[in-house]
Amino acid sequence: MYSKKIIALFLFLCFTVVGQQKITIDEIYNGTFRAQGMDELQSMKNTNQYTVLNLDSQSRSVQIDLYDFATLKKTATLIDTKSHKDLSNGIDSYTFDASEKMILLACNTNKIFRHSFTADYYLYDIANKQLKKLFDFQVQEPTFSPDGKKIAYAKENNLYVYDLASNKSTPITTDGQKNSIINGITDWVYEEEFAFVKAFDWSADSKKVAYIRFDESQVPEFSMSMFGKELYPMVQTFKYPKAGEKNALVSLHIYDVNSNEVKNINLGNYDDFYIARMKWTNDANTLSAQVLNRHQNNLDLLFIDGNSGAAKVVLNEKDKAYIDVTDNLTFLKDNSFIWTSEKDGFNHIYLYDKNGKLKNQVTKGKWEVTNYYGLDQKTNTVFYQSVENGSINRDVYRIGLDGKNKVRLSQNTGTNAATFSPNFQYYINTFSSASQPTTYTLNEAKAGKQVQVIENNESLAVKLKGYNLPAKEFFVLKTEKGNELNAWIMKPKDFDPTKKYPVFMFQYSGPGSQQVVNGWGSSNEYWFMMLTQQGYIVACVDGRGTGFKGADFKKVTQKQLGKYEVEDQIDAAKVIGNYSFVDKSRIGIFGWSYGGFMASNCIMKGNDVFKMAIAVAPVTNWRFYDSVYTERYMQTPQENASGYDDNSPINHVGKLKGKFLLIHGSGDDNVHVQNSMQMMEALIQANKQFDSQIYPDKAHGISGGKTRIQLYTKMTNFIKENL
């Protein structure tokens, strides 16, 4: 028989072993630490309810469930896939018609690029529980008309209108052709850089469809070999305008459903321009369009008469650097509109009348509005998200349309976001911090009082306690040049201030981006924690050019990407290297995409500071990247050759001293593997040794199957061997 002391010692040792459990790469990328969420959360428009896409773990069926905002009680299951054999593969996404009596279900989705996809679509009638497959082929972006009688959709570069009563489709366009003409769907560069795919919109009276036409026949083509498992590789060719090359010619058109006629809109005297946004106003005969010049430093908001086609500029903004297109254009009942702009140096909310005359600046201050949620027109109350409580945090606020009576609704410091009920009485608050997994709560919208917890991911929090993970410490790092930069640091849990630790720095650094944020992190965060368990300090610094600290801080990098950002990472590494507990001879840096561009530059320009670097899918010369993104910050290579070349890591390979790992996916349609191939050739001709890895057919995210596990194992081993 064991004594109580022995039993107690045994339990203590068991607890100690559990408490010292180490994170593994397999766990990180097989979903072990995945947080619970509210998938496809949508607030209804006609009732104070919301819907969520739920998975029944026992039957493995997918359901669209309806909940009441006031009570959080499930009031109905609108559809369950187990009752419909055609939906055996589940539901990927869904949209309601205006009456919220019918649902469009997207199934068997096939991805095209970052946002675009084709899918099989089913129409579900909620009342009679009838399900109907709409087409025998996959389509893009099907959209109900406001009266719910028709659906506009795109197929193979053409637009169509499907009549629900007759089950017939009528073509709006017929000239669509791959790599030549696209109707109603954006081209590659618009999708990637203006972040939208559906380039058509129904008028409020369901009588017209406005759409953008892309003539990309003169845009240079890019081809990638896709190796697959066949005897001969397949070549994928698509139009990709690189910096300074020809863009697609865009034009705006309005289709009349009744007459089946198309009106071509004369936007005015524009040369080489973008239609960055397009939507109908509340007036069924007025269409709005945001038109940017190629330099993207002049934006016109146009109102277009849907009958005559006449266009007029109602609002103009100019900037010495560039203008960010707003998604927060919201039309009120009288066609006055809400608009967000950083014209006073910080992003804020403005109210204009229907003629584009400024009525009021709703929010003001040296902080940024990060999301506009809506206007309660009964009380003239605006709801929004901002960084007023510190640029690394997000909070939910309400304020009068007159700019008075502001109230902070969110209660906890970290990242808060909101989904409001249609009557603005309640909202679901999504909260997380660096130490708190995502929590969903029901809150009342008057003062933000929490009513009930919906999901707090307590099971994940309990699981993570067994790993004894390090805390993320936020601070402001001040460089010798006097730049104050947001930063965080992770130290080993058994940190000993008398020891000297190696430091692994992570950054992205792209214009307007942010990595130092007080929110629950991605899978990378677990990888960083794993590295601290293996004796490394991990740090992250947001240098100049990053976002949410005002336009001047963000736009200082204009026309010379990679200059000030690299200086700041080198200077930050020097500051960190002087900490008493850091071994300054063992500092490494890592980044992906823009961050890979930065890591490549840092190991070369900072060759006396960084011992090693890992660059994943990097841009190595901005001449290789797309026109919209690159020219926004650099203008064209013809105008700014030195800006492109002075900070291209390809032109600094001779400075390489440390260990360098270069990684790319061969099927990257965004940052082409050409970037890494030319970088490799430059390194070879400079007689510099380096390590590299190409992932066959993998896109910019380098994922699929065991890919992420293999990738992060390779990077971990490289760090262990060289840092």
Active site residues: 593, 668, 700
Which residue in the block uniquely carries the two structure tokens 């291209």?
A: 648
Q: What residue type is 262 in one-letter code?
A: V
Q: Nearest-CA neighbor of 549 among 629, 485, 594, 634?
A: 485
Report the interhelical angle of 564-577 vs 594-605 (nearest 10°). 60
What residues contact 649, with CB distance under 8 A and at least 6 apart?
597, 600, 601, 604, 618, 620, 679
Q: How far apart are CA 186 and CA 284, in angstroms?
A: 24
Q: Pairing between strand 330-331 and 261-265?
A: unpaired
Please give the full DSSP string across 3-56, using - where no structure is assigned. Answer: -HHHHHHHHHHHHHHHHTPPP-HHHHHTTTTPPP--TT-EE-SSSSEEEEEEE-
Q: Nearest-CA neighbor of 596 among 543, 671, 524, 539?
A: 671
- Considering just the CA atoms, what is the radius of gyration of the chain in Å? 27
Q: DSSP class of residue 471?
A: P
Structure tokens at 332: 């009120």
Q: Residue 306, SS3?
A: coil
Identify whether the C-beta of residue 209 lies closer than 8 Å to the C-beta of residue 254: yes
Identify whether the C-beta of residue 282 lies closer than 8 Å to the C-beta of residue 202: no
Q: DSSP class of residue 220?
A: P
Q: Nearest-CA neighbor of 504 among 579, 582, 578?
A: 582
